[in-house]
Amino acid sequence: MTRTATCMSLAGGLAATAIAMPALAQNGADYFKGKTVTYIVATSAGGGYDLYGRLVAEYMQRYLPGSTFVVRNLPGARHLVGANTIFASRADGLTIGTFNTGLIYNQLVGLPGIKFDLAKMSWIGKATTEPRAIVMAQQSPIKTFADLQATKQPVNFATSGIGSANYVETTMLTSALKLPAKVLTGYNGNTDQLAMRRGEVGGTIGSRSSFEQFVQNGYGRFIAQIGGKDPNVPQLRDLVKDPAALSLIALVQSQGDIARLTAGPPGIPPAVLDALREAYRNALDDKELQEKAAKLERPVEPGYGDEVLKAVITALNQPPETIALLTQALKKK
């Protein structure tokens, strides 16, 4: 190729790049005018992730004038399908979404099916803090954590599916604490609550907010919590002395501190990411959103941008001993 041809080819390539990327060079919210943002929810419609996702999408749209947000439910493989899709999306800021915080566990132990690196994603924010709780059915003879430790009869614990945060946490905690538990899967949405009311299962370990109404209605009781501020429910860490178990309790609490996340693929241009983060902050600060969430008894305790990124990286930066304990606990069930 001649030098002239090479120069023409280079010039053509630069021109094509300039044509393809002008929108990304725009600053702030103007970039989103006339564009559609797909907000992926890695679960079926209904349930906590869908509820938070739709609230976030609705109010982010308000703070990005001219944009249209479309919620796309993309369930499958315990949130992996949704998370993998978000990670592999074009880094133009037009595909973001939410998925199970428990994927941090999956990445820590290297479970198959992961095609993402959470440390590399473009973090926009988290909607709340989700303290975990051990919940027992009201008709269960187990009234306290000490009762659970002492029972000779195995207790059925409901979980959604292998790989979900609720499954991982229930499995590793019941194993590390040597609780007489049988972990069952297949309880998606609120079916675990129905199973507890029917007496099919005795309890579960899950996000406290998901069981507030259940307990208030007299169908169950909290016997311990991980995080949270309820003075009437003991902290699990205060009931345990084993150092290995305490390290796993701390890991679970780190997940609860960064709940209902919103993220995009790696490499979103800084100006575009800043606009998304600003819209997210405005959305979560919106009094109307907060009132809607309060009526649904869903807490709003947001965190933003690099603050969330730092928390995710901290959660992923576990010592080999903790990862070994997590891996061992998951292999036992």
The SS3 assignment for 222 reads strand
Let me know if domain 132-255 sits in CATH 2.30.110.10.
no
Per-residue pLDDT at 16 exceeds 50: no
Average pLDDT on 12-33 reads: 58
* Residue positions counted in the chain: 333
Domains 25-129+258-318 and 132-255 share a fold: yes
Spatial distance between the Cα atoms of 228 and 239, rounded to a whole number of angstroms: 15
Residue 65: burial class (beta carbons within 10 Å; 0-12, 13-18, 19+): exposed
Instruction: Give the pLDDT of residue 161.
Output: 77
Q: Closest Cα to residue 201, out of 154, 266, 252?
A: 154
Confidence of residue 101 (pLDDT cuts 50, 70, 90): confident
What's the DSSP call for residue 10?
H
The tokens for 27 are 């600053």
Long-range contacts of 308-315 (CB under 8 A, 24+ apart): 308/123, 308/124, 308/125, 308/126, 308/258, 308/261, 309/123, 311/126, 311/254, 311/257, 311/258, 312/104, 312/118, 312/119, 312/121, 312/123, 312/258, 313/119, 314/254, 315/104, 315/251, 315/254, 315/255, 315/258
Q: Determine contact, residues 60/4, Cβ cutoff 8 Å.
A: no
Domain regions of the chain by residue span: 25-129+258-318, 132-255
- pLDDT, tens digit, for every residue of 150-184? 999 999 999 987 777 888 899 989 999 999 999 99
Name the CATH architecture for the domain at 25-129+258-318: 3-Layer(aba) Sandwich (3.40)
Cite the DSSP H helix spans in the chain.
3-20, 48-62, 80-88, 103-109, 145-150, 165-176, 191-198, 208-216, 243-256, 270-285, 287-295, 305-316, 320-332
Instruction: Give the pLDDT of residue 243.
Output: 92
Let me know how many helices (H) and strands (E) the chain has, helices first: 13, 11
Bridge partners of 282, per DSSP, are none
Q: Determine contact, residues 64/26, Cβ cutoff 8 Å.
A: no
Residue 218: burial class (beta carbons within 10 Å; 0-12, 13-18, 19+): exposed
Q: To the nearest whole number, what is the mean pLDDT of the chain? A: 90
Instruction: Give the pLDDT of residue 222.
Output: 98
- pLDDT, tens digit, for every residue of 114-145? 999 999 999 999 999 999 999 999 999 999 99
Q: Closest Cα to residue 296, out of 330, 253, 260?
A: 260
The SS3 assignment for 128 reads strand
- pLDDT, tens digit, for every residue of 249-259? 999 998 899 99
- Cβ-proximal residues to 105 (8 Å cutoff; 6+ apart), any chain: 165, 168, 255, 326
